[in-house]
C-alpha cells in the first residue's frame, strides 16, 4: 500500500523528501516538525521547509500551542480537491492563453520524447488539449507491452478517466489473433472499438492519430515521435481508414 501511495504522489510531482514528509504526517496525525522529521528520517530544517511549502499550497493546516507549531492534514481528500482545482485553473488559463497567440498546432513540426517522464507528460497534454468527443485512431500490439513500459496501472487509469470525462472514443487495430489477449477490464472501462487486422499485417509498435497529430510510440526502449504536418497526418489517416475497412 505504501509503495503504491509513494508512486502516486511521485506522479503528482512530489519529490522524494516531500513524499516522506507527507506520508509521515498522514500516519502521525497532528504533530510537531521535530516528530515529523524523525518519522521521515530527515533533518528538522528540511522537514520544516517542506511543511511550510505544504501549508502555503493548502495541503496542511497549522496551529501554535505553547510556542510549538503543530501540523496536520484535515482530510485525505484535501489533496484531491487541490488537484481538481488546479485542473480547473489550468483549463481556464488555456482558454485565456489561446487568445494571445496562435496554437503550436498551426505550425508543422516534430517532437521527440525518450524518457518515461516526458512521454507521460506528452500523453497527458495531448489528451487534455484534444477537443471534447474527439476520436482517437490507434494501431497497437497487446503482446508488445509498449504502454506497460512507461505507464503504471494507476496512471493509465487516470488517462482513461480523462478520456471518459471528455467523451472521447477510440478505434484500435491490433494484429491478427491478439484481441483475446487484452484484459476485458481495459475494454469495459472506456469507449473503444477494436478490430483485428488481416493475418498478413504485422505491427509491434503503437500508432496514434489524434486531431492534427501522428504519434509513433515504442516501449523498447521508451520512445515517442509526434508529427504535426497536415499532408503526413492526412496520408496516414487515409491508410488507417483503409485498414479499418478490411479488418474484422
Among the three residues 41, 61, 78, which one is the final residue of a domain in this structure?
Answer: 78
- Domain region containing 63: 2-78
Whether 184 has a pLDDT exceeding 70, the answer reads: yes
- Based on the domain organization, do 72 and 136 belong to the same domain? no
CATH number at residue 52: 1.10.10.10
- Based on the domain organization, do 47 and 129 belong to the same domain? no
- Based on the domain organization, do 138 and 71 belong to the same domain? no
**pLDDT on residue 207:** 93
Beta bridge partners of 137: 171, 209
- Phi, psi (rounded to 5 degrees) for 37: -60, -40
Q: pLDDT tens across 86-144, in order?
A: 778 888 887 777 666 554 545 678 889 988 888 888 888 888 888 899 999 999 988 87
- Based on the domain organization, do 147 and 47 belong to the same domain? no
Q: What is the number of structural domains in the chain?
A: 2
Q: pLDDT tens across 2-51, in order?
A: 888 888 888 888 889 888 888 888 888 888 888 888 988 989 999 889 88
- Based on the domain organization, do 133 and 181 belong to the same domain? yes
pLDDT confidence of 208, banded at 50, 70, 90? very high
Whether 161 has a pLDDT exceeding 80, the answer reads: yes
84 lies in some domain: no
pLDDT confidence of 222, banded at 50, 70, 90? confident
Q: Name the maximum alpha-carbon separation found in the chain.
A: 77
Q: What is the mean pLDDT of the chain?
A: 85
93 lies in some domain: no
88 lies in some domain: no
- Based on the domain organization, do 130 and 8 belong to the same domain? no
Q: Is residue 46 within 8 Å of 17, Cβ to Cβ?
A: yes
- Based on the domain organization, do 112 and 180 belong to the same domain? yes
**pLDDT on residue 141:** 86
CATH number at residue 174: 3.30.870.10
- Based on the domain organization, do 227 and 115 belong to the same domain? yes
Q: What is the DSSP string of the chain?
A: -HHHHHHHHHHTT--HHHHHHHHHHHHH-SEEHHHHHHHHTS-HHHHHHHHHHHHHHTS-EEEEETTEEEEE-S-TTHHHHHHHHHHHHHHHHHHHHHTTS--GGGS-EEEEE-SHHHHHHHHHHHHHHSPTT-EEEEE--GGG-TTTTT--HHHHHHHHHHHHHTT-EEEEEE-TT-GGGS-HHHHHTS-EEEEEPPTT----SEEEEETTEEEEEEETTEEEEEEE-HHHHHHHHHHHHHHHHH--
94 lies in some domain: no
95 lies in some domain: no
Q: Is the pTM of this model over 0.85?
A: no
Amino acid at each position: 500500500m505504501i509503495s503504491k501511495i509513494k508512486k502516486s504522489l511521485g506522479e503528482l510531482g512530489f519529490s522524494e523528501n516531500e513524499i516522506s514528509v507527507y506520508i509521515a504526517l498522514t500516519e502521525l496525525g497532528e504533530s510537531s516538525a521535530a516528530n515529523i522529521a524523525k518519522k521521515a528520517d530527515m533533518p528538522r530544517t528540511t522537514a520544516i521547509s517542506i511543511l511550510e511549502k505544504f501549508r502555503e499550497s493548502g495541503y496542511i493546516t497549522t496551529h501554535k500551542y505553547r510556542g510549538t507549531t503543530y501540523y496536520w492534514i484535515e482530510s485525505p481528500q484535501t489533496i484531491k480537491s487541490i488537484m481538481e482545482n488546479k485542473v480547473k485553473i489550468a483549463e481556464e488559463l488555456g482558454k485565456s492563453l489561446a487568445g494571445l497567440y496562435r496554437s503550436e498546432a498551426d505550425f508543422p513540426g516534430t517532437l521527440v520524447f525518450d524518457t518515461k517522464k516526458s512521454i507521460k507528460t506528452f500523453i497527458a497534454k495531448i489528451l487534455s488539449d484534444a477537443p471534447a468527443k474527439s476520436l482517437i485512431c490507434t494501431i497497437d500490439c497487446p503482446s508488445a507491452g509498449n504502454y506497460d513500459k512507461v505507464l503504471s496501472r494507476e496512471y493509465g487509469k487516470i488517462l482513461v478517466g480523462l478520456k471518459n470525462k471528455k467523451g472521447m472514443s477510440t478505434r484500435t487495430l491490433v494484429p491478427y489473433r491478439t484481441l483475446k489477449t487484452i484484459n476485458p477490464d481495459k475494454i469495459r472501462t472506456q469507449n473503444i472499438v477494436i478490430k483485428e487486422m488481416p493475418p498478413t499485417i504485422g505491427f509491434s509498435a503503437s500508432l496514434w492519430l489524434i486531431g492534427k497529430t501522428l504519434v509513433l510510440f515504442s516501449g523498447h526502449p521508451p520512445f515517442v515521435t509526434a508529427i504535426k504536418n497536415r499532408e503526413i497526418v492526412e496520408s496516414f489517416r487515409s491508410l488507417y481508414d483503409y485498414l479499418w475497412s478490411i479488418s474484422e
